[in-house]
Chains A and B, each alone.
Chain A
Amino acid sequence: MSRTRALMTALRARLGAAEPLAPPPPLPRVEAPPARVYTPRREASRFAAEAARHTTALVGIGHVGTRYATDVVLQFQAELAVAHAAVAAELPDDWAEAQGMVPVRSRVADHREFLLRPDLGRRLDDASLARLRQRAPRGADVQIIVADGLSAVACQGAGKALAEALRAACQARGLTVGALVGAKFARVWLEDEIGQELDARVAAILLGERPGLGTGDGLSAYLVYAPRIGKTDGDRNMMSNIHARGTPPAQAAARLAALAQAMIAQGTSGVTLDLAQVDGGAELGVGYRAPQVRQRLVEHGGGGGAGGAGGAGGGGRRR
């Protein structure tokens, strides 16, 4: 009973009014707002539906009214969360040492500064420079650097394996490979200073790439011939999406080794490199590849809640 009602009941008794009061009414029921129910519509275009079978991109996903289906939204949010987590992850300080690499780091002080100051991420700090001069042999054909880049998750996942595979592939082609260098807080251009310092003919940095939807584990590789501070992106060749659902690391290593050899043979890299002369082979895996299936991160019950906006998604996405 409410405070005021109790107060008035007591006052009423004191004033001598004895007739019993009616019992309080039951609690009111709030009428639910009217729900408009839209049924999920599958993608109508057969072209889009067929295209969706060959990509992990968001095509042919159908619609519910004017909006996405619930399971499409949930999947999108989960994939975005994976990307956010990958950007926020930080490479442990002792990671490179534990992997048997020469540990170096850029001039960045902390993770936030790393995200905000790309310029500082492109230069080695003084301690790293000294360590590099002391521990890493000079004059290799290919200098491989494993780095965190924008996804420490990817670096810790497949970074070492890709580096080892690339080293083996280069050696199989008769190229010498320097000691593996592990860089923290590194941007792509850090390979210029490291390669210049170690007098390598080709510098190859393998680093976590800026995460996309659901791919927090993707690696990119950037190769540059005759690395010097001041080289631009026009001087580099790169390969992205090195992960299980993109280019598998083993295949990527074979292609990158062929690229490095072509750079040394032609004496250049970047836009002036003639890719037509890159020595291709069956192991480079440039033929037909089976359609990639989107990885489901969430399952939507589709039981049809009060709003009725749920239900299975459109476009044959759920498999």
Chain B
Amino acid sequence: MILEPIVPTVLAVRRLPAASPALLAAYGADPARHVSLGLVTCDQDDATYVALDEATKHAPVDVVFARSFYAGAAHASGRLSGEILGVLAAAEPQAIEDGLEALLRCLAHDACFYDADGKRGVTVFPHVIGSLGHYLAAEAGLAVGEPMAYLVAPPLEATIGLDAALKAAAVRAVRIVAPPTETNFACAWLTGEAPGDLAACEAAAEAYAAAVVEVAGGGAGAGGR
């Protein structure tokens, strides 16, 4: 069904209460500050990036590692691989627990891809983050607490969608990742021209989703061209 949420499947949740310092260093953590790790794999990478950021808003955790896997979840290297491994690091195991709880809640109820053509042949991720946590804020070069539209779609759809989004509202592109990415999607991060303009981000995301649905030919009344 058009714009039906495709809820991500969390494939594995594991903890390392006291990880080896060598491992911590190799995965980007700081052995002086970090002791415990929380690991998550999921079949939707972009939803997981958003959920990892959500975790940093709820617990004293850092996202030390988050990488998408090549060719996406449909071509995963194993049953538990999916298309992303995200790693939270904290000074103690309870912070990891709190962070994981927020992360899983976000994956179940907030961040997800949507069906763009009614057959799940094309999917779109038109996500609006009301308030950035310190992980994505640092990645985007924005202040913590700023709103951001996190927009992902397949290459052609993403290109037309991004053009529509940028014209639909007073937004500016923070980052544009042209295809191909590891998962062969294309991605853009937008924020309001005026700081804190959440409505502009929402309008941009809506225009992006509408454009992707239109291109995918799934929208009511929208024919393929």
Binding site for B on A (CB under 8 A): 1-5, 7-12, 15-17, 19, 21-22, 24-25, 27-28, 30-31, 33
Please tell me if B196 contacts chain A, counting CB pairs below 8 Å.
no
Question: B157 near A: Cβ within 8 Å?
Answer: no
- B interface, CB within 8 angstroms of A: 1-5, 7, 10, 13, 15, 17, 93, 97, 100-101, 104-105, 107-112, 114, 126-128, 130, 202, 205-206, 209-210, 213, 219-221
28 contacting pairs across A/B (C-beta < 8 A)? A1-B109, A2-B109, A2-B110, A4-B128, A5-B109, A7-B206, A8-B3, A8-B5, A8-B114, A8-B126, A9-B3, A11-B3, A11-B206, A11-B210, A12-B2, A15-B213, A16-B221, A17-B3, A17-B220, A24-B109, A25-B108, A27-B105, A27-B108, A28-B10, A28-B108, A30-B97, A33-B15, A33-B93
- Could you tell me the distance between the alpha carbons of A11 and B209 in the complex, rounded to whole angstroms? 8
Q: How far is the CA of A21 from the CA of B112 in the complex (A)?
A: 15
Given the complex, which residues of A lie within 8 Å of B213, measured CB to CB? Answer: 15
Complex Cα–Cα for A31 and B13 (A)? 9
Query: Given the interface contacts A5-B110, A7-B202, A8-B209, does A15 sit within 8 Å of B104 by beta carbon?
Result: no
How far does the alpha carbon of A24 sit from the alpha carbon of B110 in the complex, in Å?
10
A308 to B38, CA, bound (A): 22
Are A4 and B205 in touch, CB under 8 angstroms?
yes
Q: Contact check, B3 vs A30: say whether CB atoms are below 8 A apart.
A: no
Task: Check B10–A4 contact: CB distance below 8 A.
Answer: no
Query: Is A19 within 8 A of B105, CB to CB?
Result: no
Q: Is the CB of A33 within 8 A of B97?
A: yes
Q: Are A30 and B13 interface neighbours, CB within 8 A?
A: yes
Q: Contacts A4-B205, A7-B128, A19-B1: A30 and B110 contacting too (C-beta < 8 A)?
A: no
On whether A3 and B130 interact (CB within 8 A), knowing A15-B210, A17-B2, A33-B97, the answer reads yes
Closest to A1 in B: B109
3 smallest A-B Cβ distances: which pairs? A16-B220, A2-B110, A12-B3
